[in-house]
Amino acid sequence: MPRSIRGLRRIQLRVKDLCRKKSIDRLTGETVLEKNHQPSPPDTTLVYAVDQRNAYAMMISLSSALEQSNGLAGVCVLYSGNDQERVSRHLQRTCGEISFRLINAIDELQRLKGRALPLGTIGDVAYLKFLVPEFVETPRAVFLDADTIVLSDLRGLYEQALHGRPVGAVQDWLVPTVLCQNSPIRDYLDQVDDQPYLNSGVMVMDIERLRRLDLLSEAAKYRGIKVRYSDQDLYNLLLMGNWTAVDPVWNYPIDSTLVEVSRREQHDQLWSERKICHYMGTKKPWIFPFNIRSANRDFVACRQRSSLRYWIPTPLSPSSLRYYAGYARRKFGNEF
């Protein structure tokens, strides 16, 4: 057989071998690899947005993520507190060899608050969530609220197919759709098709798509609205029908009273499969007496293993006192 024909034959066999290993998903256009040909897993970038009130909880959440995630490449923390040196020391001790960035976002917050934004009752941390695309340089990132505990490798969440959408998130357990009875944004919608309502406590972010959307500029049309669930309501208004639902085990609420009645059976069934615990609501596991509840054992166990294990909340701790004062204001009015 002539040499040129033998060379052409080798090329044909090589192309055929590659085609067996790799195929194209016709619906999404994404490459799908066979089970016996797994690529090296991508490195995961983890992002938090915190202030002084929840910096300690963020450290515990980060500790849990580092315990579980072998492919964690870097950590980015947007911070609006005044004690950045102390937080930086804790991050350095917690992250070890993992690279981290602690970003002073106070100036950015002041710039945003000077704009005509519709954020109303939204606090600093919620503003910071919308700044993530400005500071994160990787193509994707996993965003976690500070009141979460990670029980599984985050690569499983990081690799979720987003199907060309900017965000992947879990459908909210208490507010399943934007037009349901519990929805806080239904009054701001004009006869639209009912869509799922996302929970913004755990999100996979396509950073480049979010940059192009420029959500803060888009929010101008909702100027003056009163939100109940902070940034979450605004995310749902701006991304309605433009986000991908992921498995609910990636954002599992510990407090079952924050689950719609019709979904509580599913909530109970998924207890053993939970991958990220989310301490939604006011019963935070670092506040006395909620820190002694058996349902909060994931947080307590992680706190005991972390470098901050000597911190024990009591009824007179600063975090507990802030919580009690906030509860009194909500219960009896701002004049308290």
Quote the pLDDT of residue 115: 57
Quote the pLDDT of residue 248: 97
Question: In this structure, which long-range contacts are made by residues 318-322, counting pairs with CB atoms below 8 Å and at least 24 apart in sequence?
Answer: 319/53, 319/56, 319/286, 319/287, 320/287, 320/288, 322/53
Which carries the bigger pLDDT value, residue 157 or residue 105?
157
Q: How many CA atoms lie within 13 A of 91 on its CB side?
A: 23
> In this predicted model, what pLDDT tens digit does every residue of 225-245 receive, in sequence order?
777 887 899 899 999 999 999
Is residue 18 over pLDDT 60?
A: no
Q: Report cis status (omega within 30 of 0) of the bond before 2.
A: no
254 in Cβ contact with 296 (< 8 Å): yes
Who contacts 242 (Cβ-Cβ below 8 Å, separation ≥6)?
A: 165, 166, 167
| β pairing state of 276-278 and 148-150 | antiparallel
Return the domain boundaries, the chain: 44-332
Place of tokens 């007496």: 289
Confidence label for 195 from pLDDT (cuts 50, 70 and 90): very high
**Fold that domain 44-332 belongs to in CATH:** Spore Coat Polysaccharide Biosynthesis Protein SpsA; Chain A (3.90.550)
Which strand ranges, in their side-by-side order, compose the sheet holding 252-253? 148-150, 276-278, 252-253
> In this predicted model, what pLDDT tens digit does every residue of 133-152 receive, in sequence order?
989 989 999 999 999 999 99
